Chains A and B, each alone.
Chain A
Amino acid sequence: MSSDYNFAYLDEQTKRMIRRALLKGVAIPGYQVPFASREMPMPYGWGTGGVQVTAACLLPEDTLKVIDQGADDTTNAVSIRKFFEKTASVSVTEETTEATVIQTRHRIPETPLTEGQILVYQVPIPEPLRFLEPRETETRKMHALEEYGLMHVKLYEDIARHGHIATAYAYPVKVEGRYVMDPSPIPKFDNPKMEMAGLQLFGAGREQRIYAVPPYTRVVSLDFEDHPFERGGAQQPCGLCAATDAYLDEVIMDDIGTRMFVCSDTDYCRERRDAGHVGEMGVPKAEDAA
Chain B
Amino acid sequence: MYVAVKGGEAAIENAHSWLDEIRRGDTDVPELGIAQIRNQLALAVDRVMAEGSLYDPDLAALAIKQSRGDLIEAIFLIRAYRTTLPRFGASRPIKTENMACMRRISATFKDVPGGQVLGPTFDYTHRLLDFKLAAEGSAEPALKVPAQTDEVKPHITSFLNDEGLIQSEPQNDQTPPDLTREPLELPASRALRLQALTRGDEGFVLGMGYSTQRGYGRNHAFVGELRIGNVAVEVDIPELGFAVEIADIEITECETVNQFTGSKTEPPQFTRGYGLVFGQSERKAISMALVDRALRWKELGEDDTGAPAQDEEFVLYHCDNIQATGFVEHIKLPHYVDFQAELELVRKLRREANAAKEAAE
Q: Interface of A with B (CB < 8 Å)?
A: 5, 11, 34-41, 43-46, 48, 68-71, 73-79, 82, 106-107, 124, 135-137, 162-164, 166, 168-170, 185-189, 206, 208, 232, 239-240, 247-251, 253, 260, 262, 264, 266, 281-283
With A73-B7, A248-B340 as known contacts, state yes or no: A78 contacts B12, CB within 8 Å.
yes
User: Which residues from A are CB-within-8-Å of B76?
Assistant: 43
User: Which residues from A are CB-within-8-Å of B186?
Assistant: 136-137
Q: Is the CB of B181 within 8 A of A168?
A: no
Nearest B residue to A266, CB-CB: B4
A33 to chain B minimum Cβ distance, whole angstroms, is 9
Give the complex CA separation of A74 and B335 in angstroms: 11
Listed by A's residue number, 16 A-B pairs whose Cβ atoms lie within 8 Å are: A35-B183, A38-B83, A45-B327, A46-B330, A69-B335, A75-B12, A75-B334, A162-B352, A168-B344, A169-B337, A169-B338, A170-B338, A187-B340, A249-B336, A250-B340, A264-B340
Q: Is the CB of A137 within 8 A of B313?
A: yes
Q: Is the CB of A68 within 8 A of B80?
A: no
User: Which residues from A are CB-within-8-Å of B4?
Assistant: 71, 240, 262, 266
Give the complex CA separation of A189 and B340 in angstroms: 11
Q: Is the CB of B348 within 8 A of A164?
A: yes
Q: Is the CB of B330 within 8 A of A36?
A: no
A69 to chain B minimum Cβ distance, whole angstroms, is 5
Which of B6, B80, B185, B337 meets A247, CB within 8 Å? B337
Q: Is the CB of B338 within 8 A of A39?
A: no
Q: Is the CB of B335 within 8 A of A106?
A: yes
B326 to chain A minimum Cβ distance, whole angstroms, is 3
Interface class of chain B by DSSP? helix
Which of A39, A69, A206, A208 meets B83, CB within 8 Å? A39
A187 to chain B minimum Cβ distance, whole angstroms, is 4
Most buried by B among A78, A189, A251: A78
Q: Interface of B with A (CB < 8 Å)?
A: 1-2, 4-9, 11-12, 76, 79-80, 82-84, 86, 180-187, 313, 317, 322-323, 325-330, 333-338, 340-345, 348-349, 352
With A136-B313, A187-B337 as known contacts, state yes or no: A166 contacts B327, CB within 8 Å.
no
Known: A34-B183, A73-B6; 4 extra A-B contacts, CB below 8 A, are A34-B185, A76-B334, A162-B352, A170-B338
User: Which residues from B are CB-within-8-Å of A189?
Assistant: 341
Give the complex CA separation of A160 and B182 in angstroms: 43
B180 to chain A minimum Cβ distance, whole angstroms, is 8
